[in-house]
Structures are given as C-alpha cells and as structure tokens.
Structure 1
Amino acid sequence: MKNILVAVDRPKNADQLIAYAVKIAKLTDAKIWIIHVTADNPKDFLAREAGPQYVYNKRDEEHKKEAAFLEQLAQQTIEKYDVSAKGCLIKGPVIKSLTEIVKAHNIDLVVAGHKRKHLVYGLFTENKKRDLIDELKIPLLAVPLV
C-alpha cells in the first residue's frame, strides 16, 4: 500500500480521518493524499445560473481558502506524524472526481467519514458510499464520525 486518500468533507472531521490514515501509512510507508471535492463555477457564461457576478467571485475565494486549508493539513501531517502528505482541492462531481484521482495517483485505500443516520432516512436518499465503492473497486475505510 503506497497511496492513501483521505476524503475530507468538513474541517472539524479532518484530524480524525487523518489519524486513521496515518496509522496505516506508518505501517506501509504510504503517502497520504488529503482531498476535498467541491462544486466548480461554470466556465461557460451561458451555463451560469442567473445571478450577480459576486456570487461566483465569493465561491472562488472560498475555493482558495479551502485549498490553503488542505495544504496546511498536509504540512501539519508531515510535521506532526513524519508521514508524506499532499493536500488537494478537486472541483467537480464527487464520485467522478474521486475516481479520477484514484486512478491518477494509484490510490490503494480511501479513508472517508461516516455519520450514522437512521434507517428511514437511508431508504429515501442516495447512498454515495455504496456508489463510490462500486466505482472505485478499491477498499474504502468508513470512519464513524463523532
């Protein structure tokens, strides 16, 4: 196992997910990829939703802050745990984007958070984790988030 992807959705859960990845990375001398997938601004002017330009400018600023946060997490991981790490912000659909990065970087394991919802909620919503497992065809470690 040489590459572990940590899928970060919320900053407050990042440390917990990275801690699990570090345990595995230390055993296998693997590199950790800290990834967050976010929606991208449409490139085509006609594809944009109706609304003022400042909405898109604000989203671009948020993307810059998120990218800087991921790089900071990677640097902290290197310094604190002495494990190779890289932070990346990916723009696009979640499952497609993660599938592409898994192939591009030969990822061996995906570490993602899991919040427990009750059964009825799960019956009426998409199961992104199941879809992700089907697409990736590599192990997914679902970490229960507290």
Structure 2
Amino acid sequence: MKNILVAIGQTKDAEKLIAQAVKFASYSNGKIWIIHVATPDPDSLIGRESGPQFIYDQRAENRKKEAAFIQNLAQAITQNHNIEAESILVQGAVSKVIREKVDKFNIDLVIAGHRRKDFLYNLFTANNKKDLVDELNVPLLAVPLH
C-alpha cells in the first residue's frame, strides 16, 4: 500500500487514525495523505450566507487552524517516523472529495474513523444509490472511535 489517505474529521480523533496510517505506511514504505474537508470558505460566494461579519471571520479563523493542524500532523509523521506525508485541506462534499483524491493520488487504502452516529460512519454505511465503499474500489479501514 504505497498511498494511504487518512480522512480526519475531528482533531481529537487524529492521533488514533494517524497511528493506523503510520503502521501501514511503515510496512509498505508508503506515503500518507492527510485530508480534512472544511466548511466552505467565507470569502467565496458559496460560503456567503446572510449573517453578521463575525460568523465569516470565525469560519476563516477555523479554516486557518484546521490547515495548520493537519500540516503539523504531516510534518510530525515525516520527522518522527521518516514517512513521507502531505496534508490536504479542501472544501466540498466529503464523499465527492474523497473519491476525487483517491483517483488523483492513486490511493491504495482509505483510513477513516467512525462512531455509531458519526457523519463519516453514515457516509460509508448508508444505503445510497451509489455506495461510496463500492465507488472507491480500494480498501477502507474504519477505525472505531469512542
């Protein structure tokens, strides 16, 4: 498994997901791609909803923190484990973004966390017309989060 995509939903779950990715990457001399799908950029037309300015400012600040967090994760993986890692912060629909990145980066394994009522869990297990797991055409490691 040369290319491993780790989908980080919440910062509190990152350590557990990254540990799994590091395990697989060390076995295969692979590369880790850390992805976080953020809310729309408040500077874009899509992100502009009616509301006070402080809401736009807060979204922009949150996006900067999220970008710094996953970038720091990637740097720590490279420094501490000598494994190549990159961070990706994107905006959009989670399932669509994951599918796109799996194709774009030739991903061999997707690692995501799940809770019983977690969004990512529902994303991978819901009875949609097209099941994301089938569309990925790559293994998915669903890490239980408590």
Q: TM-score range by the shorter chain?
A: 0.7 to 0.9
Equivalent residue, structure 2, for 1:123: none
Q: What is the deviation of 1:141?
A: 0.3
Equivalent residue, structure 1, for 2:53: 53
Structure-to-structure mapping, 1:57-136, within 5 angstroms: 57-117=57-117, 127-130=122-125, 131-136=131-136
Q: What is the deviation of 1:54?
A: 2.8
Q: Distance in 2 between matches of 1:60 and 1:134?
A: 34
Q: Give me the TM-score of the superposition, normalised by structure 2.
A: 0.85
Equivalent residue, structure 2, for 1:33: 33
Q: What is the deviation of 1:10?
A: 1.0
Q: Which ranges in structure 2 are unaligned for 5 or more consecutive residues?
A: 126-130
Q: Distance in 2 between matches of 1:143 and 1:94?
A: 17
Whichever residue aligns with residue 133 of structure 1, its letter is: V
Equivalent residue, structure 1, for 2:45: 44
Q: Is the 8 A contact 1:38 1:93 kept in 2?
A: no
Q: Is the 8 A contact 1:39 1:93 kept in 2?
A: no
Whichever residue aligns with residue 44 of structure 1, its letter is: L
Q: Deviations over 1:25-55 (max 9, x none)?
A: 111111001111122136337x732112331
Q: What is the deviation of 1:115?
A: 1.2
Calculate percent identity across the aligned residue pairs: 52
Runs of 4+ off more than 4 Å: none
Q: What is the deviation of 1:135?
A: 2.6
Q: CA RMSD in A?
A: 2.0
Q: What is the deviation of 1:132?
A: 2.6
Paired residue total: 138
Q: Give me the TM-score of the superposition, normalised by structure 1.
A: 0.85
3-state SS of paired residue (2:24)? helix
Q: Distance in 2 between matches of 1:62 and 1:39?
A: 9
Q: Distance in 2 between matches of 1:26 and 1:144?
A: 21
Larger radius of gyration: 1
Q: What is the deviation of 1:87?
A: 1.3
Q: What is the deviation of 1:65?
A: 0.9
Q: Which ranges in structure 1 are unaligned for 5 or more consecutive residues?
A: 118-125
Q: What is the deviation of 1:127?
A: 2.7
